[in-house]
Structure 1
Amino acid sequence: MKKIIKTTLVLLITITTISCGNKSEKKEADSKKIEQTEEQQHSSSENSIQLNNGNPWMANIETTQGIANMKKLMDNFSKKENSEAYTQLKSSLEKEFGTIITACTMEGESHNQLHNYLVPMKDYFEGLASKDILKCKKTYNELNKHLAEYSTYFK
């Protein structure tokens, strides 16, 4: 009888230990998920464009001219009912984008902020390549707004 009680007691202790261990592992996993979410939120706020103490950043002339050329391409775009035309617009915009990247001589925080400004454009370019005309139009409007914001952040 004592052997059965001992065995039962050992079994209960083992089950309790395993059960508690699983709870602490779950708590640890939950804690890691929360930390990852906080890191993602911090990272996304780091990647949003900021002003230079309330003022625009100085940009090199090639970047400013490239953005002006992109605005001109957008302003001159008239085939808004043709999804193939949006694909051609995307190609022209990407060419200017490439020129901006190649000619960039900016350094330091102004360069980092320019990067934050330019990165979203890749998503806009992809939206312009859609076969869905409504998505093309929506993306066109979003990119147009984004380009208009350049002068808020850079001079």
Structure 2
Amino acid sequence: MKYVILTLSLLALVSCKDSKNQDLKTETAEQPAETDNHHDTHEASGIYANAWVSEIQIDYGEKWQADATTNEGVQKLQNTINTQTASTLDAFHKLAEQLNDEKNFVVKNCTMKGPSHDNLHIWLHPLIEKIDALLKTEDVDDAEKITVSIKENINAYNTYFQ
């Protein structure tokens, strides 16, 4: 099922514009039975990590030029993740829903093309997976770890884009 979600996410990202009329909220997969290795699954899939930083490139030593709408959407993501706190599972799920809506704004309104667009997707794809994991988690400790990873992911945008 993880591969189905990954494939669907990749297809949604192929072209920001092509999916303008579709709801980009990630598909809800059946929840696996709770096991003792629940956290191990997220660690193995990289949900807690930011391995994408080894894949993203810089534009000959400069930040990539992003379009104004993408910057606006990312600013909304940054404001949300940097100002909202959650301590209950319900609050984490509400945070994930808001982040998902803001991420959808970025995807739906993106007009970037070429290498800057490709690198945006290197940054964006793991964020989509993390938001999806936060939407689905049933454990507060897990939600806290995912939220930290989301915050690092979102705030790293300014390192690579202007």
Using structure 2 for the length normalisation, give the TM-score. Answer: 0.64
SS at match of 2:92: helix
Return the alpha-carbon distance in structure 2 between the equivalents of residues 142 and 74 of structure 1: 11
Unaligned runs of 5+ in 1: 1-43
RMSD: 1.7
Return the alpha-carbon distance in structure 2 between the equivalents of residues 91 and 58 of structure 1: 28
Using structure 1 for the length normalisation, give the TM-score. Answer: 0.67
Which residue is 1:99 aligned to? 105
**Amino acid aligned to 2:128:** K
Max radius of gyration: which structure? 1
Shift of 1:76: 2.4
Which residue is 1:41 aligned to? none
Which residue is 2:153 aligned to? 146
Give the structure, 1 or 2, with the largest relative contact order (CA under 8 Å, sep 6 or more).
2
Shift of 1:149: 0.7
Comparing 56-65 with 121-130, which one deviates more in the overlay?
121-130
Higher normalized helix content (fraction of residues): 1
Superposed CA deviations along residues 67-113 of structure 1, whole A, max 9, x for unmatched, are: 110111112212x2201111111111111111111111101111101
Which consecutive segments of 4 or more residues in structure 1 shift more than 2 A?
A: none
* 1:114 equivalent in alignment to 2:113: no
Unaligned runs of 5+ in 2: 1-50
Which residue is 2:67 aligned to? 60
Partners of 1:62 and 1:104 within 8 A in 2:
yes
Partners of 2:127 and 2:154 within 8 A in 1:
no
